[in-house]
Structure 1
């Protein structure tokens, strides 16, 4: 058995496209539908109930588009809403969580840093994950203002560089050897982050792990698209799609729509 239905993904904006790219690279035959809820970004500033309500609205939109699986390509939405989504909707869900555990297990200095949204760091799911890691010192930093700058197309800006220096320098001083990116927007900052942190500090994001998990769940549920064809990828945005287009570029199999 197989399924030609699309994979659905959503995020509070363009950040989840970092997850989409990994899934598309691993599963090039799969059609995808991506929903960028930029109008409500960042989710990290919202209450748990607001995040649940927005996530449910996004899921319902993707299910209306006949999606066979939903990737919650947002750390904040995953850590605050995925349990409720799995209870409410009869479709497989893939979440994205900060890769704290592999960083902690591999750290030589027993000190790691995590850069994430307030909503992720304050979530019950994240704190349960951290409670079990008693062998490592975890420096948590809320990335105030980073998502807004990324959504505004200001990745390569002096304002961005200044914020990153403020957030990363205390971690460098504390001798971290791993930096965990706890927001799907943040992989787009890696070139800027690498200019600030020492070369020995490894940056970890969840993109490849999420792509592998998506493939595994599709296989388990007999939902993989086994047809070899050029996939169709539709990106829905509820704000100016200019930044989204700049990040993804133009391709014959990519289209942009409003919702």
Structure 2
């Protein structure tokens, strides 16, 4: 663990999905630098075995450690579910921030008593998810849905494709018919599909639950508590540097950078 507040924040994802978390981190901590590691060559993770996911995520951690990061945000629900316990055991001095499906805020705010959870196959079938649902959603009906094909659509830039809309409708319409009024986005790729999801639920009583801002706040709190939050004294004109690394090579890394800029610009317009 690096003790210099100027050290960057490390971010891990299987591909594009962590962009949603990264954007929230940058907005919450505008002076911090980031290094985003994406395992584009092996994306998606949702259908892989736990052992393989752990090995892949471990490689990402090792890369970020060589870059001198001070904290690592595992910006992927599937990677968190499969690997976070192993990472904390193997690198006890490094703070890791993981994700779990945002069942708690959904359960606390639902009026119908029914919530949907849209995640990868690995996440919604995991013991971690079942434990989270039991802990935070007592008395609430939780309907998990594996959004197969959606991660691939985001990775390929097919958010607006008719087939992607058909997939989304196939997952969301049954939840609406069942009376769900909250939809937990339990994969960080899925906020990149928010405009399409919002068109499908337009005029109906359903609200999206995206954990990105809560993760950013939690990360900021950890850094502040450990004296690692970088907040320059006075006015500074020095812009933070944000790096992107992809196992798919330089071209894939550049695609990540461009998509991150586009996503941030879209949120600024909302």
Q: Distance in 2 between matches of 1:173 and 1:24?
A: 37
**Alignment equivalent of 1:98, drawn from 97, 101, 109:** 101
Q: Does 1:127 align with 2:139?
A: no
**Which of these residues, 233, 236, 253, is aligned with residue 245 of structure 2?**
236
CA contact (8 A) 2:77 2:187 kept: yes
Tell me the distance in 2 between the aligned counterparts of 1:114 and 1:249. Answer: 27
Does the CA contact (< 8 Å) of 2:116 and 2:143 recur in 1? yes
Structure 1 residues 6-85: aligned runs within 5 Å? 6-85=8-87
2:265 is aligned to none
Alignment of 1:53-202 (within 5 A): 53-89=55-91, 90-132=93-135, 133-199=137-203, 200-202=205-207
> Are the counterparts in 2 of residues 109 and 177 from structure 1 also a CA contact under 8 Å?
yes
What is the aligned partner in structure 1 of residue 5 from structure 2? Answer: 3
Q: d(CA) in 1 for partners of 2:86 and 2:257?
A: 32
> Alignment partner of 2:148: what SS?
coil
In structure 2, the partner of 1:207 is 212
Contact (CA 8 Å) 2:244, 2:257: kept in 1 or not?
no
Alignment partner of 1:220 out of 197, 207, 225? 225
2:46 is paired with a residue whose SS is: helix
Checking the alignment, whether the CA contact within 8 Å between 1:115 and 1:181 is kept in structure 2 is yes
Tell me the distance in 1 between the aligned counterparts of 2:118 and 2:129: 13
Which deviations, in whole Å up to 9, do the C-alpha atoms of 1:167-186 show, x marking residues without a partner?
11100100111000000000
SS at match of 1:71: strand
- Give CA-to-partner distance per residue, 1:195-225, whole Å, 9 cap, x none: 1114331100110000000000001111111
Q: Once superposed, which parts of structure 1, at least 4 consecutive aligned residues long, lie more than 4 Å away? A: none
Q: TM-score normalized by structure 2?
A: 0.89
Secondary structure of the residue aligned to 2:169 is helix
Deviation per residue, 1:2-60 (Å, 9 max, x gap): 61100000100011011000000110111110011111111111111111111111101
Aligned CA RMSD, in angstroms, stands at: 1.4
User: 2:259 is matched with which residue?
Assistant: 247
Q: Distance in 2 between matches of 1:174 and 1:185?
A: 24
- TM-score normalised over the length of structure 1: 0.93
* 2: CA distance, partners of 1:163 / 1:246: 25
Q: Number of matched residues?
A: 250
